[in-house]
């Protein structure tokens, strides 16, 4: 992720936050601007935040606190209209070359064509675990909730209470798992038109700029309960539905890239 550099420079102090329940914290108290303050707006007394991309710059923000485990949620409304070539990333990340990182990346598209949600898991500096889905709604017309439940046993990527990905702690199989490094929460919008839309074929049409992604209702991370089973049966069937109907890429099934699937692919639900 290109934007790690920006945030890495600016996150100087590692302050481990006490994890407690608060609802809908003001974004201007939880976050600070990491990139292009003149492209970032706080609205409604800090209850809403807008990130802008135009032909001059993208923009980004990061949390002041870092967290080791937790249940994190943000509501996001993505770039409306023609968003081809834009990438909006919402992710957790630690610092340094052995960083852990949990990514949501929204790859824009031409008006009417589907946005892709790409997720990725980095552990101990290594990613290459992409999954891609289409969403079952237009993510640019309303706010939807994107969240991560992260504990010692598993990581769940959630979209509006629907699990879209599970990454189990498979340390026993030799798979590194993010469990030692605290992570900050980041977001940015940037020009990804070299790869994002139809593999880079569709470029940004700057006549549609500025491109704006909106954020609200950040839930200060709460302790994520750590049962052995990540999903209830009802959640499991929702995940199966997402995989069957909306998944368009899974690194686990990419035989060219991984002739032998990585070990976690056997056990992730
Ligand atoms: C950037 O966009 C502005 C507003 O549309 C336009 O006036 C300007 O010429 C553009 N600059 C470049 C370098 O394309
Ligand atoms: C954009 O739309 C095209 C055509 O429907 C589709 O193939 C592609 O997966 C969509 N998403 C992106 C990010 O390219």
CB 95 within 8 A of CB 8: yes
Give the Å distance between the CA of 138 and the centre of ligand 2.
Answer: 13
pLDDT, residue 70, reads 94
| Any atom of ligand 2 within 6 Å of the Cβ of 27 | no
Q: Which residue has the tokens 């598209």?
A: 109
Q: What average pLDDT does this structure show over 155-170?
A: 96
pTM: 0.90
Q: Is the pLDDT of residue 17 over 70?
A: no
Give the Å distance between the CA of 198 and the centre of ligand 2.
Answer: 5
pLDDT, residue 29, reads 94
Is residue 101 annotated as part of the catalytic site, yes or no?
A: yes
If we measure between CA atoms, which residue out of 262, 67, 81, 76 comes closest to residue 155?
A: 67
Q: Is the pLDDT of residue 113 over 50?
A: yes
For residue 45 the two structure tokens come to 């007394």
The chain-wide mean pLDDT, for the chain, equals 91
Q: What average pLDDT does this structure show over 34-47?
A: 97
If we measure between CA atoms, which residue out of 183, 9, 6 comes closest to residue 100?
A: 183
Task: Let me know how many helices (H) and strands (E) the chain has, helices first.
Answer: 3, 16
> Would you give the distance in Å from CA 35 to the centre of its chain?
18
> What 8-state DSSP symbol labels residue 182?
-
Q: How many domains does the chain have?
A: 1
Is residue 229 annotated as part of the catalytic site, yes or no?
A: no
pLDDT, residue 20, reads 38
Pocket test for ligand 2, best of 114, 134, 248 (most atoms within 8 A of CB): 114
Q: Residue 23 — very low, low, confident or very high, per pLDDT cuts 50/70/90?
A: low
Q: What average pLDDT does this structure show over 106-127?
A: 97
Residue 140 maps to which CATH number? 2.60.120.200
- Which ligand is closest in space to the CA of residue 211? 1
Q: Out of 7-11, 55-59, 179-183, 264-268, which region has the weakest mean confidence (pLDDT)?
A: 7-11
**pLDDT tens digits along 214-226:** 999 998 788 877 7
Q: Which atom of ligand 2 is nearest to the CA of 196?
A: 13
Give the Å distance between the CA of 109 and the centre of ligand 2.
Answer: 6
Q: How many CA atoms lie within 13 A of 155 on its CB side?
A: 27
Find the catalytic residue in 30, 48, 101, 264: 101
The closest residue, in CA terms, to atom 3 on ligand 2 is: 113
Q: What domain range includes position 124?
A: 4-266
| Any atom of ligand 2 within 6 Å of the Cβ of 113 | yes
CA separation for the pair 162, 245 (Å, rounded): 13
DSSP string, 195-255: TSSGGGTSPP-GGGPPEEEEEEEEEEEEPPP--S----HHHHHHHHHHHHHTEEEEGGG-T
Q: Is the pLDDT of residue 24 over 80?
A: no
């Amino acid at each position: 992720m290109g934007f790690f550099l920006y945030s890495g420079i600016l996150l100087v102090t590692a302050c481990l936050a006490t994890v407690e329940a608060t609802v809908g914290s003001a974004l201007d108290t939880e976050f600070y601007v990491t990139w292009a303050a003149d492209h970032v707006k706080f609205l409604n007394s800090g209850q809403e935040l807008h990130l802008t991309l135009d032909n001059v710059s993208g923009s980004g923000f990061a949390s002041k606190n870092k967290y080791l485990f937790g249940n994190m949620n943000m509501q996001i409304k993505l770039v409306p209209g023609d968003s081809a070539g834009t990438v909006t990333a919402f992710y957790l990340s630690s610092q340094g070359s052995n960083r852990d990182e949990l990514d949501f990346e929204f790859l824009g598209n031409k008006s009417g064509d589907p946005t892709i949600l790409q997720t990725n898991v980095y552990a101990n500096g290594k990613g290459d675990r992409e999954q891609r889905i289409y969403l079952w709604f237009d993510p640019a017309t309303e706010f939807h909730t994107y969240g991560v439940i992260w504990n010692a046993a598993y990581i769940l990527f959630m979209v509006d209470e629907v699990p879209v990905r599970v990454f189990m702690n498979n340390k026993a199989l030799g798979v590194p798992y993010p469990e030692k490094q605290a992570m900050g929460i980041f977001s940015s919008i940037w020009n990804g038109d070299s790869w994002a839309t139809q593999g880079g074929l569709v470029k940004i049409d700057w006549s549609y700029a500025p491109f704006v992604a909106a954020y609200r209702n950040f839930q200060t991370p709460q302790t994520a309960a750590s049962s052995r089973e990540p999903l209830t049966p009802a959640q499991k069937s929702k995940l199966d539905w997402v995989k069957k109907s909306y998944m368009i890429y899974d690194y686990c099934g990419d035989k060219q890239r991984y002739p032998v699937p990585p070990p976690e692919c056997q056990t992730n639900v």
